[in-house]
Structure 1
Amino acid sequence: MRTIVHLSDLHFGRVDRSLVDPLIQSVREIGPDLVAISGDLTQRARTAQFIEARRFLDALPKPQIVVPGNHDVPLYNPLARFFRPLVKYRRYIGENIEPFYADEQIAVVGVNTARSLTIKNGRVNRRQLDRIRERLCDYPDAVIKIVVTHHPFDLPEGYREGDLVGRARMAMEALASCGVDMFLAGHLHVSHSGHTGERYRIAGYKALVISAGTALSVRTRKEKNAFNVLRIEHPKVVLERCTWESENARFVPSAAEYFERRADGWMRMKDDAAGPCRRS
């Protein structure tokens, strides 16, 4: 079995500081095999915010897959935004903006969807898809293949198509033949799970699409601060939501969802009360 902690939308610069240490403690208690962070580490891509984010990452278990979000591109400095959009991200977070991790059970690739020409939207391009295919296609079906982006490939009810990552359908058609099992994202500050069969309708293919809420930001929108824990054991995945409980100042289990891969792809099996947000 492999355990992945999935965090998103940290937004250092607008965080609830009372959550930082409890989040670090919770992740350490879980003892994940991998930590995946799907973008927006900062609020406005400022140096002090990146330094805080770096300190936070250093306190979490390794290895880590970390990708930029649209907030990690400078907004108010046009020169930096268009000519050096991720220079501070590369300096403080990591030179590799599309990292990769693999072992005998999982293969995980991060993809940068942040772009200078839009304020909040993102996209993927063909060169990125070619790199994903080069990294993932040769792995056997027994290895769970995962793509991590900031912008999502699927949406909860009530959101418009424009909130999807740009060129989502082109990407899904290119990656279906590789048998990508799971897409992890953030951006909306809303927890969500589903499968690609409803939106993309590719014959014989259904991948899981999972979004995390914001782990630390005060901009919680429709739900409390939260993060995901994925427990992966081919051909099954358990998704646990860990939600901030202010009364006891800790992250607690709020729900568990069970998925299994069948002949035509991934299916939800049941939902249940979650177990503790620690190593099982």
Structure 2
Amino acid sequence: MRTVVHLSDLHFGRVDDVLLAPLRETVERIAPDVVVVSGDLTQRAKSEQFEQARAWLDTLPGPQIIVPGNHDISLYNVFRRFVKPLERYQRYITDDLDPIHVDEEIAVLGINTARSLTWKDGRINEEQVAKMKEEFAGLAPHVTRIVVTHHPFDLPQSADEDDLVDRAPMAMKAFAEVGVDLLLAGHLHTSHADTTEERYGMSEYAALVVQAGTATSTRGRGEVNSFNVLRVEHDRIEVDRYGWDVLSSAFSLMTTEAFMRSGDVWAAHNDGMLAAGI
């Protein structure tokens, strides 16, 4: 089994500083095999915000798979937005826009969906999909394949359809070809876990989609600050959601959802959601 901590939408520049130390301590206690950060590390892609994000990320365990979000591209500086959209991200966070971690049980690949031409929408292109297929094609069948993006491939019912990553159907066909199991994303500041079966209706294939809320931003959109912990086995994945408890000033386990695989189809386990302190 592998343990993956999934953080998203840190938004340094609009961070609740009270959360930073307890979050770090909780992640250290969980002792993950991989830490994933699915974009929007900053609020306005300023150098000082990236510096703050980098300094805090350096306090977390590794390895880390990090992808940028739309907020990590300059909004108001037109030259920087279109000529050097991710220059600061690459300088302070990582110059690798396709990071990958592979071990005996999991392969975690980051894909950049942030684009200069849109304010908040995301996109995946054929070149990125081809690279993903190349990275995953030679893996042993028992290795769980995980893709990390900022923009989601599926949405909770309350979300705006425009928040879905552009060219998602094209990418999903490729995901099915190489057996991608798990899609991790952020962007919505809303926690969500489900499968792609209903949206895409693909024969004999459905991936598990897990959305993380905002871990540290002051913009909670009606949800407490939260993050996910995934316990990954070949045929079973448990998704723990940790949320900020104001009374105890700590991140506490709120819910656990279990999903099982049958062939290349992931589905919610019959035990469903296990309440924990809610």
Taking structure 2 as the reference length, the TM-score comes to 0.97
> Counterparts in 2 of 1:211-222, with a 5 A limit?
211-222=211-222
Report Cα offsets for 1:116-170 as digits up to 9, x if no partner.
0000001000000000000012223311000000000000012232110000011
Between the aligned partners of 2:65 and 2:263, the Cα distance in structure 1 is 29
| Selected match of 2:274 from 272, 276, 280 | 272
SS state of the match for residue 177, structure 1? helix
1:217-244 alpha-carbon deviations (Å, 9 max, x no partner): 0000021000000001221111000000
CA RMSD of the aligned region, Å?
A: 0.9
Structure 2: distance between partners of 1:264 and 1:25: 36
Q: CA deviation at 1:97?
A: 1.4
Distance (Å, rounded) in 1 between the aligned partners of 2:185 and 2:142: 23
| Structure 2 counterparts to residues 188-199 of structure 1, below 5 A | 188-199=188-199
Question: 1:79 corresponds to which residue?
Answer: 79
What is the CA-CA distance between 1:105 and the residue it aligns to?
0.2
Count of residue pairs brought into register by the alignment: 275
- The alignment-based identity, stated in percent, is 54
Q: What is the DSSP-based 3-state SS (H/G/I as helix, E as strand, rest coil) of the residue aligned with 1:66?
A: strand
Summarize the alignment of residues 116-131 of structure 1 with structure 2, pairs less than 5 Å apart.
116-131=116-131
In the TM superposition, what is the alpha-carbon distance from 1:9 to its structure 2 partner? 0.1
* Partner in structure 2 of residue 67 of structure 1: 67
CA distance in 1, matches of 2:159, 2:79: 32
Query: Structure 2 CA distance, aligned partners of 1:138 and 1:81?
Result: 36
Task: Tell me the residue number matched to 1:88.
Answer: 88
Bigger drift between 266-275 and 188-197 goes to: 266-275
Query: Contact conserved, 1:12 with 1:49, CA < 8 A, in 2?
Result: yes
Residue in 1 aligned with 2:241?
241
Give the superposition deviation at 1:274: 4.3
Unaligned ranges ≥5, structure 2: none
Deviation digits for residues 83-131 of structure 1, max 9, x if unmatched?
0000000000001011000001000100000000000001000000000
Report what 2:150 is aligned to: 150
Q: Which amino acid aligns with 2:275?
A: A
Q: Which ranges in structure 1 are unaligned for 5 or more consecutive residues?
A: 276-280
Q: Relative to 1, partners in 2 of residues 1:68 and 1:52: Cα closer, same or farther, differing over 3 Å?
A: same
Q: Which amino acid aligns with 1:54?
A: R
1:40-189 → structure 2 map (5 Å cutoff): 40-189=40-189
Contact 1:4 1:229 in 2 (8 A): yes
Does the CA-based 8 Å contact 1:129-1:171 persist in structure 2?
Answer: yes
* Counterpart for residue 15 of structure 1: 15
